[in-house]
Each structure stands twice: as structure tokens, then as C-alpha cells.
Amino acid sequence: MNRRRLLQSSFGAVASLMAGGALAQAGRGTHPLTAAWEVWKAAYLEPDGRVVDRLQQGASHSESQGYGLLLAATVGDEAAFDSINAWTMSNLRMRPDHLFAWRWLPDSATNVPDRNNASDGDLFYAWGLIRGAVTLQRPELIDRATDIATDLAAACIQPHPDGSGRLVFTPAAGGFQRDEGLIVNPSYMMPLAMREVAASTGVSAFARCADDSVRIITDLAQGGLVPDWIELRPGGAVPAEGMSNENGYEAMRVPLFLVWSGQQQHLAVRRQSAAYADADTARGATPTVLDRGTGVVLETSSDPGYSALAGLSLCVTSTRAGALMPRFSTRQPYYPATLHLMTLLAQFEAVSRCVPI
């Protein structure tokens, strides 16, 4: 198959995957979340295409750039898509492969002091390029997504230390291998993104990794709420030394990504939903950090993005129609606001009965 035919085939495959084709059919500027996107863009996206997390030293991350690119592609905002892409390529594309340095600091003597990548940022960036190929009618973007996917699979997909043959999505090209096993962040494992990347680029390792990621998260959920970080060893999972073993600001994304991936009744989603239901959420506070084993609430927040996450989990594990999710607002920091918008997107694409009420 020649390159042109391969691009056409990949373009069609991913268009059919994306919400049953509904995303492509929505057309430019007509997506139901366009208004919320415009508010998000005004609050967190600089005119030059830099997504800013002001609570993190005003930093930009490959993750935030990937999230922004995906959202811009999904609603069909070509100008924002191109500005995010241009800034990212100019400021984070400095490795010998096609992956991105994970963080850019505005007030540092060296804006990028660490050139290691963050695998979730690279994954979401490739996914954003693929969605942009469909919504913006630019199939040539699949070429760039393929370059990223190829290098990402080579650098960050590793065999499970238990010898099962399962594939593990590691957090970065370097720094997370241990003599005894692999340190992983379960929230980096986004099955839907992996499947769309595999379908459009032909990097089949991501299709296997998507299935194995669901199984790995199931294993973790057998022991309680999914943790922020964990070390996988031949004999099982153990807490990762020096890293959070709580169910916190990282792991809160796991149920969202599973729901978005069609895994609404996954054990991890059901455990998280039960923890939200059991928690005392007086005065509108939502649990943000919980003890992995007991479900005891360690931290809460009144930011509406976290409430939206809880509302979606509670809805999908019930039989009711409609999710108790607050209206989108930028009166919250970048991170909960972005999770809020992605929660609304996941609901639209994956769980129509959980429309916000």
C-alpha cells in the first residue's frame, strides 16, 4: 500500500472510531462544547499557543499542550490548534526522537531544564493530531502522529515484569525502571487514546497496550482505590518508594479515562464511585485525595471540575439518567478546569444518559 492510500485508510479508520463518527459529523465550530472551550481558551491559552498552569510556576507541560491540542481538534478550532502546535514544536521538540520534553518554565534560566519526556503528554499529543486530521480535514497530520507513536512505543511500552507477556505503558523514556520492576502512573494509561492511535498509525503495540492497561488497572483495583503511582514487580504491585500511594490528583483521572473508553462498569470506576458516595461532601467539597485502602478522605476541594468528575462516576454506576455536574466555569485553576471540560467531553462521546443536570 502506498503512502497516500495508507493515509486515506487511516483517516477513515479513526473517523469511524471517534464517537461513532459523530465527532467528524459535528463539523467545524458546531460542537456542543464550543462555548465552554472558548471560555477555557480565554483563561488558560496564551495567544502564542502556550497552555499555562499558573499554580505550577506558570509552567507549560507536554501534557497540557496535548490536552489543549486534543480539545482544539475536537471542537474544530483550527486557529487554536495551529497555535498550540507551533508553540509546542518550537519550545518542547528538542529531543533526538519525536517525543517532547515534559516541562517548560517561564522564569528559569533554562526554560527546559529536563529533556525527559512524559508519556501521557506524547500520547495525548498524537491523539490530538489524529483527531485534527479528521475534524480539520488534514489527513497529513497522521504522518506526524505516526512518528510520535512509533518513538513512544519504542521508548515507553515495556513487557510486564511478571513475565505474563502483558505490555506496560511507562511514564517516560528514562527514570522509572528499577532493578525489581517498573514504576507506573495508572492515569497515563488512556485506553481510548491508545486504540485511536493504533488504528490510525498502524503502531499495533498501542492496541495491545490498551487492552493490557485495562487489565493492569483491574489488578490494582482489586486492592482498593487505584493509586497515583505504583511499582510493578514480578511478584505483584507494591508502593513506589518516594511517590504517592494515595488515590489523589493523578489517579482521579483513571475513572474518567475508563468511562471515556467505554469501560463504565470497570472495577476501578465502581470503587471510585463508591468512595465518592460514602464521603462526607458537606459544603460542596469533593474528595481529591483518599486513602487507597480505606477510602478515608484526606483532602477536599470546592473546585467544580472535581465535582464534575465525581458526578460522572456516580452517574455511570447508577441506573439514573442525568449526572449531577456543575456548569463549566473558569473560576478554578487550570487543572480542575481542564478535567471539567474533558469530563463533559467524555460524557458527550461515551455516556449519553449522563447528560449534566
**CA 87 → CA 11, 59, 146, 254, distances in Å?**
25, 13, 20, 28
- Cβ(186)–Cβ(224) under 8 Å? no
The answer for residues whose C-beta is within 8 angstroms of residue 343's C-beta and 6 or more apart is 256, 305, 308, 309, 311, 312, 325
Cβ neighbours of residue 79 closer than 8 Å, sequence gap 6 or more: none
One-letter amino acid at 261 equals S
Distance between CA atoms of residues 120 and 125, nearest Å:
8
Name residues whose C-beta falls within 8 Å of residue 354's C-beta, 6 or more positions apart in sequence.
Answer: 312, 315, 316, 321, 322, 323, 347
- pLDDT confidence of residue 30: 86
pLDDT for residue 5: 45
Provide the pLDDT for residue 79. 99
Show me where the domains of the chain are located: 247-357
Q: In sequence order, what are the beta bridge partners of 323?
A: 356
71-to-1, 75, 80, 264, 344 alpha-carbon distances in Å: 32, 6, 10, 22, 11
pLDDT value at residue 284: 73
Ramachandran quadrant class, 29 (left: phi over 0; alpha: psi -120 to 50; beta: rest): left
Q: How far is Cα 113 from Cα 36, in angstroms, rounded to an integer?
A: 34
Which grid coordinates are listed for 147? Answer: 512518528
pLDDT in the model for residue 59: 98
* CA pair distance 4, 2, nearest whole angstrom: 6
pTM for the full predicted model: 0.94
Secondary structure of 148-175 in the HEC alphabet?
HHHHHHHHHEEECCCCCCCEEECCCCCC
DSSP string, 1-47: --HHHHHHHHHHHHHHHGGGGHHHHH-TT--TTHHHHHHHHHHHB-T
pLDDT at 60: 99
Length of the chain: 357
Q: Which residues pair with 247 in a beta bridge?
A: 290
Are 167 and 182 a contacting pair, CB within 8 Å? Answer: no
- 301 forms bridges with which residues in the sheet? 286
Instruction: Give the pLDDT of the chain (357 residues) as one tens digit per residue.
Output: 444 444 555 555 555 555 555 555 444 458 999 999 999 999 999 999 999 999 999 999 999 999 999 999 999 999 999 999 999 999 999 999 999 999 999 999 999 999 999 999 999 999 999 999 999 999 999 999 999 999 999 999 999 999 999 999 999 999 999 999 999 999 999 999 999 999 999 999 999 999 999 999 999 999 999 999 999 999 999 999 999 999 999 999 999 999 999 999 999 999 999 999 998 655 579 999 999 999 999 999 999 999 999 999 999 999 999 999 999 999 999 999 999 999 999 999 999 999 999
| Separation in Å, CA 125 to CA 57, 100, 142, 193 | 22, 9, 11, 10
pLDDT at 25: 47
Dmax (CA) for the chain in angstroms is: 60
Q: What grid cell was written down for 73?
A: 481538534
- 182 has which bridge partners? 177, 232
